Structure 1
């Protein structure tokens, strides 16, 4: 993920807003507007989204809400990790405020009263998943690249990943969370994390059609509008590997998963083992623990609460700063993890990520009902 710093601008150039909020007909529009940074989320952008949701929900002339990303590269590559890296090193409150407000926004999207449509075109990773996967209508395209790649930067899949990657009766979520594998449109739909496949060049016309919906609009109205532009999704590339993934990733310890991969001998297992060996050993163990606990939870909010509590340990973690250094700061792609090996990560190391937060995210408002 890129840094937040932009190229030098002329002194008389007005800064562009990071989030474009407005109406097109009866459609409330939220457009993430940091294309040079792959629309990575900042705290101000999270606050912009929250304010927009307040306005759109209260406006009887708004039929539905659409979120999309400006530029040609994607919806959103995630949270602004350079801000978190710099803020964490400086002891700033901003990273904590960012996670707190982002996670509360993620939960809000799941319960939004009006239809919420996400154009998951191009790169949709990390925080980009968080602003889309809880929507009522999630549209992918031939350009979609969906991933939760956090174990590669010494972090863990968050924004409710321990909820949405554990609702399926298979181990694809475990695989996606540990490896950071990029999923294409067919897999995202098959995995239950998107609803419709629309060619990217049809998105402008779809947005225009959605803007003519009468207010209020039902979810069925929105579904019918999208269906008129949708095509059958392409084949799910990972579907052929699901029986193998289910067998190799069914264990509750990372060591057992690595052993199963090593013993399998298939080309898929060998490639996957190679990928996992590049990830932070501590992050792998924390991630698997979050997933297994999340699988037993009944609410998204409980999962977000646990993830938020774990971010406190992230800000004290060697591996997070080392992972971001290698990926974003120095860009040498050669992180020096500590510990180096999975077997050297102790129970105490992992337990540091599971201490409840002194200031919880949700005070008595968790578990509002049944939706995504």
Structure 2
């Protein structure tokens, strides 16, 4: 069985489940099993993962958890954005409920008391980053493509993405967030989104050994030097351009830099939702000051709920996923048209609807 194969039926799950849960030796296995949908997360999947962690947290027979995705294309392409699109169009609240449980799960993964090993093989985007990059052991392969692509659909990086990107070296996180760039293994390691590189061909043997031996003893046998990334050589212009105080100034610096990569980055930024860009920029700067993952997730929940009522989220998903014309009509259409008040609305406290995680997020999902 490869790491990407659907899991066979077992005592604790069925291959028909969207999340297959079972144990192998001392290892708890979680396999996202929606390969035709690139393992996109649904609310039911989030709850099933949370239930598995609850069952294993105090079970002495389970010494570590391994998370993989079915199929050969990736761990997880994110949340089910078609469902979010339909919910936003109808003025519903189902997405807010999904995010509440998803963000609680993200925080819980970060605090899980046993080794939580996530195999970030293939495509890992959005919600896929949330269930992997907060884990204690994060593995990438030569096939990994890791991204927080939210600005391209009129949304803002969530699932703790602004926490992770705000802590990347220099301004690399700002670059990835605003351009929605996907990175390979070497750059994921550089940005702090992953810990180890393991060739994909070794993943089946890795899983077999993890079922029998401690994670700390197994990993050194499989970890290899990662292929060289692209971002290290671009740090100078990235740090200089993205250190600007506004998105408009960032674009100006990129366009005036002179290098082709900087100009490409400027074009990538300008293709995204102007409102999402400005809110993302503000969210990243605030995340640097907030400190803990829990505080950042609480902020992201406010931002996501505000985005659910915005025109750009519906339009962005329409253009990229529903109609696939790749020609979104953003409102407002330019960065200059997005006011400070427009941005501030996304950070308005939600009152009794706030997500409150405290300092320890191991409690059951609600």
TM bracket (short chain): over 0.9
1:267 and 2:260 equivalent?
yes
Larger deviation, residues 282-291 vs 166-175: 166-175
Question: Closer, same or farther in 2 for the Cα pair 1:38/1:56, shift >3 Å?
Answer: same
1:362 maps to what in 2? 356
> What are the superposed Cα offsets for residues 298-342 of structure 1, whole Å, 9 maximum, x if unpaired?
111111001101122111101000000001111111101111111
1:239 and 2:232 equivalent?
yes
Deviation at 1:191, TM superposition (A): 1.5
Deviation at 1:224, TM superposition (A): 2.8
TM-score by length of 1: 0.91
Equivalent residue runs for 1:330-369 within 5 Å = 330-358=323-351, 359-362=353-356, 364-365=358-359
Is the Cα contact below 8 Å between 2:294 and 2:357 reproduced in 1? Answer: no
SS at match of 1:352: helix
SS at match of 1:258: helix
Q: Distance in 1 between matches of 2:169 and 2:190?
A: 12
Number of aligned residue pairs: 348
Is the Cα contact below 8 Å between 1:137 and 1:223 reproduced in 2? Answer: no
1:5 maps to what in 2? none
Deviation at 1:128, TM superposition (A): 0.3
2:118 maps to what in 1? 118
Is the Cα contact below 8 Å between 1:309 and 1:353 reproduced in 2? Answer: yes
Q: Distance in 2 between matches of 1:256 and 1:54?
A: 47
Larger deviation, residues 192-201 vs 82-91: 82-91
Question: Closer, same or farther in 2 for the Cα pair 1:323/1:262, shift >3 Å?
Answer: same
1:37 maps to what in 2? 37
Equivalent residue runs for 1:72-91 within 5 Å = 72-91=72-91
Deviation at 1:193, TM superposition (A): 1.4
Q: Distance in 2 between matches of 1:367 and 1:264?
A: 44
1:198 maps to what in 2? 198
Deviation at 1:364, TM superposition (A): 3.6
Is the Cα contact below 8 Å between 1:66 and 1:119 reproduced in 2? Answer: yes
1:319 maps to what in 2? 312
Question: Closer, same or farther in 2 for the Cα pair 1:76/1:363, shift >3 Å?
Answer: closer
Question: Closer, same or farther in 2 for the Cα pair 1:225/1:363, shift >3 Å?
Answer: closer
Q: Distance in 2 between matches of 1:83 and 1:337?
A: 20
Alignment root-mean-square deviation, CA: 1.5
2:220 maps to what in 1? 227
Deviation at 1:15, TM superposition (A): 9.3
> What are the superposed Cα offsets for residues 258-309 of structure 1, whole Å, 9 maximum, x if unpaired?
1111111111111111111110000000000000000112111111001101
1:210 and 2:234 equivalent?
no
Question: Closer, same or farther in 2 for the Cα pair 1:235/1:27, shift >3 Å?
Answer: same
Is the Cα contact below 8 Å between 1:299 and 1:366 reproduced in 2? Answer: no
Deviation at 1:244, TM superposition (A): 1.1
Deviation at 1:161, TM superposition (A): 1.5
Deviation at 1:90, TM superposition (A): 2.2
TM-score by length of 2: 0.92
SS at match of 1:269: helix
Deviation at 1:168, TM superposition (A): 3.4
Is the Cα contact below 8 Å between 1:32 and 1:68 reproduced in 2? Answer: yes
Would you identify which runs of 4 or more consecutive aligned residues in structure 1 move more than 3 Å? Answer: 363-368
Deviation at 1:363, TM superposition (A): 5.2
